[in-house]
Amino acid sequence: MINYKHLYERLSESSLAPWLETLPDKINNELTSKKHGRLNEWLEILAELPKIKTTDIALDQSFVKIGAQEELSHSQHNQLENTLRKLHPWRKGPFDIFGIHIETEWHSDWKWDRLKDHIQPLTGRQVLDVGCGSGYHCWRILGAGAKQVIGIEPTMLYVMQFHAIKHFTDNLLIDVLPQTLEDMTNNLQAFDSVFSMGVLYHRRSPMGHLFKLHDCLRPGGELILETLIIDGNVGKVFMPEGRYAKMRNVWFIPDTPTLITWLKRSGFDEIKVVDITPTTTEEQRQTDWMEFESLADFLDPHDPNKTIEGHPAPLRAILTATAV
């Protein structure tokens, strides 16, 4: 069973202690097979992992590297790959686990490369990653010197993927919790940096999301926000009537000036647009570790500048902002 006891102990001695008033009960509620029908199956998969710890860890390269191939026997190596494949689909990465290259759907390393030189130094920081998926960026944040990294992710499969990787490490201050931002205790004001990447356009209330992100940051803390945008002037927001790139849950896609206004109204200043990049089929694609449809299936086959529904193709911006 997944156990967060050591995390709770650390939180009790930190500025995040008020979170403990609700966090354990909410996690216990999530870790029930009634709510997640495949939970027992996923826990059994985690139990199949080789019982080994490694200190051969590299978190400052494209592939998050945990372990070396020579640390496992041939049979252990085959067993590990077969076990990790049972947690398909792997969407955020890539990872190198004891020489097994997990080529994920997203080149999340490209997104990291676009932002890493534009954010405040992470050394010694307490960091929250919202909607972190399998935790790829959490590992990169830890590799950049963060004191403690906590990711929150509502999709239980991705939480299991994180624990499959962390299983081989020991005493690293990194955790991914089956939580949403809305589950967070109000008025924490405790994190030095908060990442929200690829989440805002999935929220029915984007302003509510931004206010909640602000609520998690200490005064002077930094928000790193990555989201879909559209070209346009202040006040332009695209709301798809149906699906966007085959996604049902895309609600609001603003232009950049409007997004900046939203951030100002949510209590942020020192707002900077550090990158605007179209999403390509090289960055998001089908792989051996994610065999479902991907971006190539979501775009108009005759015009890659449009989605299959005829909307503008995905364009993403990264912004940084400081909590007032």
Domain boundary assignment for the chain: 5-323
pLDDT exceeds 90 at position 33? no
**What's the whole-number average pLDDT of the chain?**
96
Sign of the dihedral defined by the CA atoms of residues 77, 83, 84, 85, in that order: positive
The mean per-residue pLDDT over the stretch 39-51 comes to 95
Q: To which residue do tokens 């041939």 refer?
A: 74
Q: Is 61 exposed, middle or buried (0-12, 13-18, 19+ CB in 10 A)?
A: exposed
Average pLDDT, integer, range 124-144: 98
pLDDT of residue 32: 81
Mean pLDDT of 218-234: 94
* Band of residue 11 on the pLDDT scale cut at 50, 70, 90: very high
pLDDT digits (tens, 9 = 90+) for 266-276: 999 999 999 99
At residue 211 the predicted structure's pLDDT band, cuts being 50, 70 and 90, is: very high
* pLDDT at 145 (0 to 100): 98
318 or 233, higher pLDDT: 318
Exposed/middle/buried for residue 161 (C-beta within 10 Å: 0-12, 13-18, 19+) = buried
Query: For position 78, what pLDDT does the model report?
Result: 96
User: What's the confidence (pLDDT) of residue 37?
Assistant: 86
Q: What is the pLDDT of residue 34?
A: 76
Q: Which residues contact 171 (CB under 8 A, 6 or more apart)?
A: none
CA-atom Rg of the chain in angstroms: 20
Domain 5-323 of CATH type 3.10.129.10? no
Answer whether 52's CB lies under 8 Å from 45's CB: no
Per-residue model confidence (pLDDT) at position 263: 98
Helices 23-30 and 5-12 pack at an angle, to 10 degrees, of: 160
pLDDT digits (tens, 9 = 90+) for 295-315: 999 999 999 999 999 999 999
- 230 forms bridges with which residues in the sheet? 255
Residue-wise pLDDT tens digits, 59-111: 999 999 999 999 999 999 999 999 999 999 999 999 999 999 999 999 999 99
- Residue-wise pLDDT for 244-253, tens only, equals 999 999 999 9
For 131-137, what is the mean pLDDT? 98
Residue 233 pLDDT grade (very low, low, confident, very high; cuts 50, 70, 90): confident
Inter-residue contact 313 to 304 (CB < 8 Å): yes
Q: What angle do CA 252, 111, 254 make, to 5 degrees?
A: 15
Alpha-carbon dihedral sign for residues 278, 280, 283, 289: positive
Q: What is the pLDDT of residue 110?
A: 98
CA 50, chain centre distance (Å): 26
- The answer to whether the CB of 229 falls within 8 A of the CB of 316 is yes
User: What integer is the mean pLDDT of 23-34?
Assistant: 88
293 in Cβ contact with 193 (< 8 Å) = no
**44 class by beta-carbon count within 10 Å (0-12 exposed, 13-18 middle, 19+ buried):** exposed
**Residue 26, C-beta contacts closer than 8 angstroms, at least 6 positions apart:** 179, 183
Whole-number Å distance between alpha carbons of 308 and 301: 8
Who's near 143: CB < 8 A, 6+ residues apart?
58, 59, 60, 64
Q: pLDDT at residue 123 above 90? A: yes
**For strand 174-177 and strand 148-152, is the pairing parallel, antiparallel, or unpaired?**
parallel
Supply φ then ψ for residue 141, to 5 degrees: -65, -45
When pLDDT is averaged across residues 26-52 and rounded to a whole number, the result is 91
